[in-house]
Structure 1
């Protein structure tokens, strides 16, 4: 028989002792979300019942259900008929509102990160249709070589993305001497090369994984994945890297807060 953990209510810890502006359901939602993220409620732990939450916050059932419904839409909760609401196993995420490397973002969340270098090429693709867009986006003249770096990014030993990065051959040759399996090149740029990062242009779409990508990401061919196209500039506006990031959607997500 499956056992469920029922959380004891402690009303003295509620943020509602210090009311904040905003709809009641949003305040309940935000407090519960914080308790899920900080580990007060663990994955697969049962949340207090609707009746308990009504007593705790002194609100209506509709208000509680609206708060829980929003968290369910976010993927933080899941419902078991007749049992109640339970905390989902959280997906690792990267905030697209900040320009940061994958390992930089994931390490802050306590995840183990590893990069498997699939290839670093300075010749293949140059002068072909495959290199036309990267060359144009990086503003590289035709005689100048272009470097192509391919990596599979692992999170807790599970592949989450396949990254194909283009840059000038000069920059690629410097990176070839670095610890690429263990470090993000964003941090290498800033901390070792003194290149200040400025901004990145992003485009995101969904595609079906071909046989090569499917094998690298350990998914079935034809599985829907996210493709992120990213052009990163230095602080003075010079293009540094142009990338295609092919990301699994089942074990990773991107987040972005947009203000009106």
Structure 2
């Protein structure tokens, strides 16, 4: 994954990339993350940069570094205030699955008057399209829409989103609640191609509206899940 000084301190970018891999099962709980020399080679940075990144992860409670052993993953769930929005993938990771995310595209879009997006966000909004892979197979196709004001640099060269909810936190967007609606949706030609199913195939469709403390919608998303590959899971705690 490319990193550049234009995106902020290198060690923080590397920390976030490694944390993302931990949260999505690429580095499972109890496993060793790659050694410092391996990470230096992957990211083309100095030893000190890698050590600073690992130090941040250790302070946040995700890893533990032991002399002569290496760096072990000791936690694979998020401390984020928005962790409820990530819970489904955390459940899959806890069951031993590996989740990988692909950013398909992002940018500002113009909303046609009278449409739902126009009513929610006005003339413009910020769109993020992603594909989630489950154990190497395409599983979820997501389209997220957010207020354009939170992404003023969206059209700048090299702009990208690593984690949607981390991005919201970094922009001081405090999500108060999520409202999910589930239905069956037919795969469009594009969604079918991305998920490896025929156009028109019935898919689980989840529509989410996330609101801030003032009740404003700050995220509208549509997800199509290939539940032939994996059921959608919800855990209820007593």
CA distance in 2, matches of 1:173, 1:160: 31
CA distance in 2, matches of 1:107, 1:184: 16
Q: Secondary structure at the match of 2:198?
A: coil
1:60-79 paired onto structure 2 within 5 Å:
none
The answer to whether 1:150 aligns with 2:135 is no
In the alignment, what sits opposite 2:146?
167
1:77-88 paired onto structure 2 within 5 Å:
none
CA contact (8 A) 1:224 1:249 kept: no
RMSD of the TM alignment (CA)? Answer: 3.0
Q: CA deviation at 1:114?
A: 2.0
The answer to whether 1:219 aligns with 2:197 is yes
CA distance in 1, matches of 2:139, 2:153: 26
After TM superposition, the score normalised by the length of structure 2 is 0.54
Q: CA deviation at 1:250?
A: 0.7
Q: CA deviation at 1:104?
A: 4.7
The answer to whether 1:207 aligns with 2:192 is no
In the alignment, what sits opposite 1:194?
172
CA distance in 2, matches of 1:155, 1:209: 18
Larger Rg: 1
In the alignment, what sits opposite 1:133?
116
Q: Secondary structure at the match of 1:237?
A: coil
The answer to whether 1:233 aligns with 2:211 is yes
Runs of 5+ unmatched residues, structure 1: 1-97
Q: Which range moves more in the overlay, 242-251 or 232-241?
A: 232-241
Runs of 5+ unmatched residues, structure 2: 1-83
Q: Secondary structure at the match of 2:177?
A: strand
Q: CA deviation at 1:199?
A: 0.9
CA contact (8 A) 2:108 2:127 kept: yes
CA distance in 1, matches of 2:188, 2:144: 18
After TM superposition, the score normalised by the length of structure 1 is 0.50
